[in-house]
Chains A and B, each alone.
Chain A
Amino acid sequence: MPVPVIMPKFSMTQEEGRVMAWLAAEGDVVEKGDPIMEVETDKVTMEVEAPESGVLRGVAVQEGDVAPVTAVIAHIVLPGETWSPKSVKATPVARRVAAVAGIDVGDVPAAGKVRRQDVEAYLDKVRATPAARRLARAQGVDLTAVNGSGPRGRVQAKDVVSPVVVSPVVEEKVAKPVSTMRRTIAERLTQSYQTIPHVTFTVAADMTAVTELRQRLNAREDAEKVSVTAVLVKVCAWALGRHPLVNASWQEDGIHEHTQVNVGVAVALEEGLIVPVVHNAAQLGLGAIAAQMQAVTARARNGRLQPADVQGGTFTISNLGMWGVEQFTAVINPPQSAILAVGRTSKQPVVVETAVGDELVIRPMMKMTLSVDHRIIDGAVAARFLQDVVTALEQPDTLLW
């Protein structure tokens, strides 16, 4: 039996992938483990390896084309086997339905033998009204990801976006085609903002201690440079461990508190942004955190991210301080329950209490705004979490506790 090569699924939310390049051509002999193609998902570009040794046959997706995940896009014909497209296993009914629809039954993704249901599922186009399609085009929403509220699941305008003033525009400029990444961002943010009740809390931290700490650490010649963000990752990871509700997800069946603390850091790219994840950040030292962040960011900029680089985040930090932003609020990255938006550090007059009374001093201050999923996190929980973050920033030795 020829072994199918499928469009792999690299992440939970991924629904399709684009074949960027075939590294082996139709008829090439490949060894198991050889890279045979490059696939672009919404997040990363991946190499896909040959599942077996043999001859690559039946390449069904051309470079640049998109296939749904798990779709069979080629086969590896094992030594001693002959290749014929008919070697796809399918029921007679499935073959007939596929033939009537003018598709190759071999194109139909199926777990094992292709059945009639598989073909029908494959053929099922998105049912959506013209108005829903127009809105989806304008807003970069992938209709296949939208649950339709109309008869037989038809997507209606309100499913794409809740009440929007639809002006009877007679002219509309053709929208700029959007990248997979932009489309994903648009979908995720829309979904997040529409379904998660956001509440925000802003605090300021005195960064004197962090500044001194970074100066000391970065003075060491053999070490990675430690950024404010790296410190924030460490600090947040510690605080998240103390406040599990901030490290949780709202699910249909209840609140899931995550056992790991994986802190994502938003990184701007030309096309949008990605969120590399520092796994088990609470267990890592600042050097390791800084090194991991740099490596992932470099891979992201080269388009070589591994799925693990961006998966599994339980909390996100978005730092725009380096761009001079004073403070801002961020939209939660679902299924997470909170995101910390970090502004710049600037010298501010601060009143401090001393034994001799109040004194006006100048301190490097940094504002942070925490957006939380109010379904999970009450105001007091958010406040206590932020209090810990501020304390740890102002007195880093707290982390040693």
Chain B
Amino acid sequence: MREQVLEKASGEPLQAANRELTYSHAIREALQLAMRRDERVFMLGEDIGVYGGAFGVSDGLIEEFGAERVRDTPISEAVIAGAAIGAAVTGMRPVAEIQFMDFITLSMEQLVLQGAKMRFMFGGKASVPMVLRTPAGSGTGAAAQHSESLEAWFVHVPGLKVVMPSTPYDAKGLLLAAIEDDNPVIFVEHKLLYRTKGHVPEGYYTVPLSQSEVKREGRDVTVVATSIMVPRALEAADLLAQEGIELEVVDPRTLKPYDADTVTRSVCKTGRVLIVHEAPKTAGFGAEVAAEIVAGEAFDYLDAPIRRLAGLDVPIPYNRELERTAVPQVADIVREARALARGEY
């Protein structure tokens, strides 16, 4: 591994061995390494320069790379996406940021009808190596137009890849893999994860796309969780372990193309599965996970109905308690997983 001296925004040097970084810093470090490594990589988005990004992710990057490569844009989500596509198809490797996933609705035409399809429409004779980073999710009190979890929309579009890391380690490795990838990748970050900490090795490494990971092994119930629901599921697993119930927590990490095999293997072992995500349940990604389980090898190993624990079919409300109620919490996961383990479903 190359020796890298990395600095936090405050300027204090980071410990080399076993160091911990926040999810937000891990993403920043990935951006930093990618831009150092490859001149074609640049960033564009709203308030990512001196402001440092709405959530501080790109803090300090403009100082190192300049306004040329850390480009503040006007509030123009369609052209942020479109400019990334146009630059990507002509030799650059842009990393665009859409400030809130909610605003991606304003980029949809460019992402879905242009970027996703361009390579295919042109008979495979062009490629669009770009990443679109965007923070999703509720829990900040920002209410219905700043809390969306729209990942399933993009999973449904051929030509796009969708990545959703849950840990600082994965965030860095997956972002570097996404930047290396020759396809448009929607990289969904979670606002509540930005401050979470975890081990992040120094230097350049990638976590391969399309590889689900078992975050915790257990024999009783498989919990398939994405993004913020992964730490919640792990917390639930700790609590249930005291009752003698062992959860196996699987994090798909890449939703498209989705590695169903890891979940299949896990379900073959446990026979019981709980799928947890923040986005509303109806036609959410969990439906795809469930369908892959029943349509494949794992079907014959199911020993209980597949349970889905997901956001309610409701816009994210403002009131703190209502907001918590709208999406799965640790106690909900504990309750559902326990009932599954006890054969109550």
Contacts and interface: CB of A to CB of B under 8 A. Distances in A.
A219 interface: no
Contacts of A133: 300
A156 B301 contact: no
B32 to A, nearest CB: 41
Interface string A145-182: 00001110000111000000010111000000000000
Contact of A134 (B264, B301, B304, B345): B301
Contacts of B301: 130-131, 134, 166, 168
Interface string B255-297: 0000000001100110100000000000000000000000001
Nearest to A148: B343
Contacts of A130: 299-303
A270 to B, nearest CB: 31
A131 B265 contact: no
Contacts of B304: 129, 150, 156
A132 interface: yes
A168 B301 CA distance: 8
A69 B63 CA distance: 85
A169 B268 CA distance: 8
B3 interface: no
B303 A168 contact: no
A151 B345 contact: yes
A166 B271 contact: yes
Interface string A122-152: 0000000111111000000000000001110
A37 to B, nearest CB: 37
* Size class of the A contact interface (CB-based, 8 Å): 10 to 19
Contacts of B343: 149-151, 156
Interface residues of B, number: 15
B271 A129 contact: yes
B259 to A, nearest CB: 15
A134 B265 CA distance: 16
A151 B303 contact: no
B274 to A, nearest CB: 15
Contact of A156 (B299, B300, B303): B303
B269 A157 contact: no
Contacts of B299: 130
B291 to A, nearest CB: 15
Contact of A168 (B265, B344, B345): B265
Contacts of A131: 271, 300-303
Contacts of B344: 151
Interface in A202-253: none
A134 B298 CA distance: 11
B303 A129 contact: yes
Interface in A85-120: none
B345 A129 contact: no
Nearest to B303: A131
A156 B305 CA distance: 11
B265 A132 contact: no
Contacts of A149: 343
23 contacts: A129-B271, A129-B303, A129-B304, A130-B299, A130-B301, A130-B303, A131-B271, A132-B303, A133-B300, A134-B300, A134-B301, A149-B343, A151-B343, A156-B343, A157-B271, A157-B303, A158-B303, A166-B268, A166-B271, A166-B301, A168-B269, A169-B268, A170-B297
List the 3 shortest-distance A-B pairs measured between CB atoms, nearest first.
A168-B268, A131-B303, A134-B300
Given A132-B303, A134-B301, A166-B271, 20 more contacts: A129-B302, A129-B303, A130-B299, A130-B301, A130-B302, A131-B300, A131-B301, A131-B303, A149-B343, A150-B304, A150-B343, A151-B343, A151-B344, A151-B345, A156-B304, A156-B343, A158-B303, A166-B269, A169-B268, A170-B297
